[in-house]
Amino acid sequence: MDILTPILLGINYLSLFYVLLICSVYLLQLLSAAVGLREYSKSLRYTDYKRFQESDNMVPISVLVPAYNESATIADNTRNLLSLDYPQHEVIVINDGSKDNTMDILLEEFKLVPIHIPVKRSIATKQVKMAYRSATYPNLVVLDKENGGKADALNAGINASMYPVFVSIDADSILENTSLLKIVYTFLSDPACVAVGGIIRIGSGCKIENGQLREVALSNKPLLLLQTNEYLRAFLTGRIGFHQMGMLLIISGAFGAFQKQAVIDVGGYTTGCIGEDMELVVKLHRHMRQQKKAYTVKFLPDPVCWTQPPESLRDLKKQRKRWQIGLMDTLLKHKDMLFNPRYGRIGMTCLPYFWIFELFGPIFEVAGYIAVPLSCLLGIVNVRFMLSFYLVAVLYGTILSVGSLLLEENTFRKYPKIDQLLKLFAYAIIDNMGYRQLNTIYKVEAMLGFRKNRSSWGTIQRRAFQADANKK
């Protein structure tokens, strides 16, 4: 007992210090995000996207869609991308050795015919078995290749693409009509920009027909509502905050745009890497700073991508463990950048943040959840200390969730109905009473099984978009 007491006390105070510290950091992010959103809203008033839509001077782009066993969503996703408001874009779907009927659906729905296209193998990939072009949509190309993983599929798409900017989007996602215009305009307004990410929102519950978003709505499923709040908090607070500070390290693989040559210069996406989206952005930061080139990596809160989240705890666990393993893998690959002044604020501030709070933070948090009640039970700390710890842990999460909702409502108003807002506010509170803690446990499990699972993606159940429309 004499040995246990100082150990438990140490864990208690360390956990409490961690919670208070991360509260302060997240609140600073929230304030930074509020300033950033205000500035962005002002800029929107002076940007006429309709003029760019009709302009012949917009940069042509390639939209890349890696697809593995995406039969439930691939047709609607492809229709959506072909119908977007953009003067000149090609859509390249890369079938990465699917074992379901993804390829058959593409062949039938879009009247694909075999073609020969010159492919510059700028990046080594698995073999592309056949290339197709749609007889009804001349700007649709489909690559049928050997399975090599998402990163390999994207690299194959880069090799086959014609244009200087490419956009990557997941096959279970839908873009709003002006999303391409808004995200690509960044490259025109800022020639130094090498990568830009859009916001990801939960599409489950929305009315989607034939690849078109008809109505924004909320799901009635508690797990999906919890994720809706979580995504708002992560993107409207976290991503904007880092963007404001010039330290954006993650562009979601679900929706991001890149200068193609910059990506080729760093060797493309890293194959065999679960967190290929984050790892690519870190490589871009590393390369540009080593070359001492002026560059920017940006996040925009307005170009929206509506995606399907996991609908079961089993799939949620798979996804969150995968995210944490990807984070750990990327940080370890680039550990030499940590506290390295050569990489400026990325090495001295941003990466330390990810190591301390995103990687090791869950360990401190879980340790506190165990040690504090155990210490109270043994009489090492009093009930007041235990209640204070949990109150702080719950309050900071609630403030962040509610703050993100207020930012959303004040700026974009995607959920204008009062019942929608009340539901989201309710779940912003519920989110911190088990759901967030569960995700923290998933992260710790991922770290403990890192070596075993670092190359394992797992599979997540998908549903047809039409299923959401039919529920309305």
What's the average model confidence in pLDDT over 119-134? 92
Name the band, by pLDDT with cuts 50, 70 and 90, for residue 458: low
Torsion of CA 61, 67, 73, 76, to 10 degrees: 30
Percent of the chain whose predicted confidence (pLDDT) is above 90: 59
Backbone angles phi, psi at 240, to 5 degrees: -65, -40
Q: Tell me the whole-structure pTM to 2 decimals.
A: 0.91
Answer whether 311's CB lies under 8 Å from 461's CB.
Answer: yes
Q: Looking at residues 77-87, what average pLDDT do you find? A: 93
Query: Among 82-91, 112-121, 163-172, 314-323, which stretch is predicted with the lowest mean pLDDT?
Result: 112-121
Number of neighbouring beta carbons within 10 Å of residue 254 = 20
As a whole number of angstroms, the distance between CA 122 and CA 397 comes to 45
Give yes or no for a contact between 34 and 399, defined as CB atoms under 8 angstroms apart: no
pLDDT of residue 49: 67
Percent share of the chain, pLDDT over 70: 94
- Confidence band for 383, pLDDT divided at 50, 70 and 90: confident
| Whether the predicted pLDDT of 326 surpasses 50 | yes
Contacts of 369 (CB under 8 A, 6+ apart): 437
- pLDDT tens readout for residues 14-59: 888 888 888 888 888 888 888 888 888 877 766 766 666 666 778 9
Predicted confidence band of residue 349 (pLDDT cuts 50, 70, 90): very high
Burial label, 379 (beta-carbon count in 10 A; 0-12, 13-18, 19+): exposed
Q: What is the pLDDT of residue 263?
A: 98
- 278-308 pLDDT, tens digit per residue, is 999 999 999 999 999 999 999 999 899 999 9
Give residue-wise pLDDT tens across range 184-217.
989 988 999 999 999 999 999 998 888 888 899 9
The pLDDT of residue 41 is 82
Measured CA to CA, the distance from residue 442 to residue 322 in angstroms comes to 10
If DSSP codes are grouped into helix, strand and coil, which group holds residue 378? coil
Token duo for residue 115: 């073609």
User: Regarding predicted confidence, which is higher, 343 or 27?
Assistant: 343
State the pLDDT at residue 225: 95
**Range in 122-131, 216-225, 287-296, 375-384 the model is least confident about:** 375-384
The rounded radius of gyration (Å) of the Cα atoms in the chain is: 23
Spatial CB neighbours of 419, under 8 Å, sequence gap ≥ 6: none
Tell the residue number behind the tokens 């874009």, with chain if given: 89
Q: What is the average per-residue pLDDT within 250-263?
A: 96
